[in-house]
Amino acid sequence: MSMEAFKENPWKESHPAYEKKTFFHIRPAPEFATAEVVVSSLYRACGFETLAEKDVPAAGREFAKDSQAPRIHERSGTKIDMETWRVVLNGVLESPKQPNQSSKRFLQMCPLVPDVALYSGSARLAGNSWNPGQLIQRMIGYGSENYQQAQNLWQKLYEALGISGTDDIWARWLHQEFGLRRRNGAEWKISHLPDEGGLPLQEKSRLNFPARQFVRDLEGVIQAKPFMTRRQWVSLLEAQLRLGSVAHVLWLCDVNYQVWQAIRRALHADDYPSAEEVGNRLISCTGHYLTYGNPAVPIIRDYASRYLVARIGINAVLWQLQVMGVEIKSLESCEELSGLLRKVGEKRNQLLAAGLEATVTELQEGEKNARAIACKKGIGSNLVEFARHVLGQRQTANEILRGYDQGYILRKKAEYSSAPWIVSMGPVSILALVHCCLRDAAGPRSIQKLCQHLAAYGIRVDRDNVTTGDLGRKLRMLGLVLDSPDAESGMLLVPPFDGTLKTQSA
């Protein structure tokens, strides 16, 4: 690999330090996925490690075929008749097809129990799919204080995703029936969690970024499992994964851009931030990515575009430094990032003399890359697809099932097909959010805390407008707030699942 190879194909030939030893490189590269695909893929990443994403569609086709073969049905030892099982697969468990899938015949099921993930829920129906489960895996590593904590959470997640005696009868029955028909020797067994902590522990503790909040909230969602049915819990988990995964990707896009801006500043002025300043100014998530009630996709496209520009720029600098004999081995901490900026400053004249800026412009604006940077194709387009489909409410081919997805973060502003996607959370997302927000609170919490919680994921809500806006209306509808006109602090949040606990014990 060399500078020339990078110039030839900047998306494939990243600098080794950027590719393998950088905490802000987006790995795995997100592509199209739906929320259910993320959950299914997480099942596989957590407990069916041996099953590759690309093998899922074929396994699904085989499974669907087997479910219609009387001999195989009898051999399984099940006590239900074949027609009933067929209705379970194609009716009860079926996840609605999207408008562009209406004519396709394939098994698409709600990921209610782990075995469902063996046969459905891959990002693509053919070819190599990317692995959203690995993205969640990495997020857990990033957000945890240390590897031990990450492993503990991974273990808890594995146990919660699995089916045990505490799960409801419907889940246990499904688990049993799927178990009788399990193919290809798959075994539900916890997979190894790679030690990918992102940043060093001492730096991580003083930074704020979405994965840290996500890890706390994931633990909260796991804790809520006993208070609801399996279906409700999976929806809750799905809502949390949606918000967390997209916020994480947008944060990484932003960090890339901030790093590139810092490099540009170092190229033109003596501006070398210390490791602490790098953490506070470049890495910590201080602003917001999306605004409640406003269109989201153009902003997501903007972030993706900036990421691509930054990725080319950072790699060009790393390759050029290598040509000049300065080897950057890793960028895994704020300290190392600060070191890179210092080196860029020291070598400023040589870098500029070597035509670095012209090279970057050439790469960013070449015919091959301009459309990619404009998110019309390639990585940028995939990033936008990922965020839009994971956050957006599922569009269904069957109009009757349009309310299937209630854990969305984005919804269409109006009925017409080209209506913009605006930030407006669905009831399940709001339940998940309020639960997580109140989980570690000793006393009452007002909606201010809810706004701060959303801000940790980069979504801005105007607190003073919650009472009259869409969020306030939904909070009231779900019984999640106490309106207190006399209280100076306004609305108080009501824990959604503690009441359930009391009812059950009573």
Partner 1 sequence: MNPLVLQIAMAVRERTATKVRSLPGTAAELRTVFHGPPIEFLELVFQELVKDGGVKVEAANGQSVIVPILLHSESATEYPQVGHSGVCAGVHLNDFRNQPGCPKFVALVAPGNHPSLALTIESASDSFGLDVRSNSGNATIEDWWNDDFIQSLVNGALDRFAISKETDREQARQMIQRSVHAADEAERHGVSRIGAWRILSRIYCIPGNAKVCPLLSLACGFPTTDDGELAMKDQYEVLQRLASHLEENGITKGLEELKEEAEPADIEALDAFSVHLHAICDIPTTFARAASYFYSPCRGDDLASPPKWWMHLTLERWVELLEEERRPEGALRIECTNFIFPPFKGGHSVVHREVDLLVSAPEDQAEPVQAVLIRPPFLIWSKVLRSFMGLVCQTALAYSSIISFSWSFSTTSPVPPCWQLPCVAPPSCWPSEPDHPSSRPDALAPPPPDSFLMLHYSPCQNHGTIQYFTEDELILSPYSRPMFHIVALNSVA
Instruction: Enumerate binding residues for partner 1 (CB under 8 A).
Output: 32, 98-104, 124-128, 288, 291-295, 298-299, 301-302, 305-306, 309, 361, 364-371, 373-378, 381-382, 385, 389, 397, 422, 460-471, 485, 487-488, 490
Query: 3-state secondary structure string, 424-484?
Result: CCCHHHHHHHHHHHHHCCCCCCEHHHHHHHHHHCCEECCHHHHCCCHHHHHHHHCCCEECC
Q: Which is nearer to partner 1, 60 or 279 (CB)?
A: 60
Nearer to partner 1, 222 or 296 (CB): 296
Give the nearest distance from C-beta 471 to partner 1 in angstroms.
8
Q: How far is the CB of 309 from partner 1 (least distance, A)?
A: 6
Alpha carbon of 253 to those of 139, 236, 249, 319, 389: distances in Å? Answer: 14, 26, 6, 21, 18
Closest CB to partner 1 among residues 140, 466:
466
Amino acid identity of residue 147, one-letter, is Y
Nearer to partner 1 by C-beta: 225 or 306? 306
Residue 126 identity (one-letter amino acid): A
Q: The tokens 């808890």 sit on which residue?
A: 156
Please identify, using beta-carbon distances, which residue of 32 and 63 lies nearer to partner 1. Answer: 32
CB of 402 to partner 1, least distance (A): 14
Place of tokens 């799919």: 129
The residues with which 446 forms a beta bridge, in sequence order, are 492
Tokens describing residue 488 = 């100076």
For partner 1, the closer of residues 19 and 470 by Cβ is 470
For residues 325 and 485, which CB has a smaller minimum distance to partner 1 in the complex? 485
Contact 114, 48 (CB under 8 A): yes
**Least separation, in Å, of the C-beta of 124 and partner 1?**
5
The four Cα atoms 428, 434, 439, 440 give a dihedral, to 10 degrees, of 150
- Min dist. Cβ of residue 44 to partner 1 (A): 18
Question: Closer to partner 1 at the Cβ: 201 or 370?
Answer: 370
Nearer to partner 1, 108 or 137 (CB): 108
> Nearest approach, Cβ of 122 to partner 1 (angstroms)?
9
**What is the C-alpha separation between 211 and 283, in angstroms, rounded?**
12
Collapsing DSSP to helix, strand or coil, 377 comes out as coil
Q: How far apart, in whole angstroms, are the C-alpha atoms of residue 262 and residue 253?
A: 14
First to last CA, the chain: 67
Residues 6 or more apart whose Cβ sits within 8 Å of residue 86: 67, 68
Residue 295, SS3 per DSSP: strand
Toward partner 1, which CB reaches closer, 156 or 460? 460
- 412: β partners: 421
CA 260 to chain centre: 24
Residue whose CB is less far from partner 1, 125 or 207: 125
Q: How far is the CB of 32 from partner 1 (least distance, A)?
A: 5
* Shorter beta-carbon distance to partner 1: residue 93 or 491: 491
- Altogether, the residues listed in the chain come to a count of 506
Residue 338, class by beta-carbon neighbours within 10 Å (0-12 exposed, 13-18 middle, 19+ buried)?
buried
Give me the least distance between CB of 352 and partner 1, in Å please. Answer: 16
Least Å from the CB of residue 89 to partner 1: 19
Q: Which is nearer to partner 1, 161 or 259 (CB)?
A: 259
Q: Whole-number minimum distance, CB 467 to partner 1, in Å?
A: 7
Phi, psi of 483 (to 5 degrees): -80, 130
Minimum CB–partner distance for residue 315 and partner 1 (Å): 17
> How near is the Cβ of 209 to partner 1 at its closest, in Å?
19
Report how far residue 452's alpha carbon sits from residue 163's, in angstroms, rounded to the nearest whole number.
34
Tokens 């087997």: give the residue: 66
Find the angle CA(422)-CA(424)-CA(430) to the nearest 5 degrees: 160
Shortest distance, position 290 Cβ to partner 1, whole Å: 8
Give the integer Cα–Cα distance in Å for 239 and 90: 24
Nearest Cα to Cα of residue 141 among 220, 45, 253? 45
Q: What is the DSSP track for 70-88?
A: HHHHHHTT-SS-HHHHHHI
Alpha-carbon separation of residue 196 from 138, 210, 311 (angstroms): 6, 16, 21
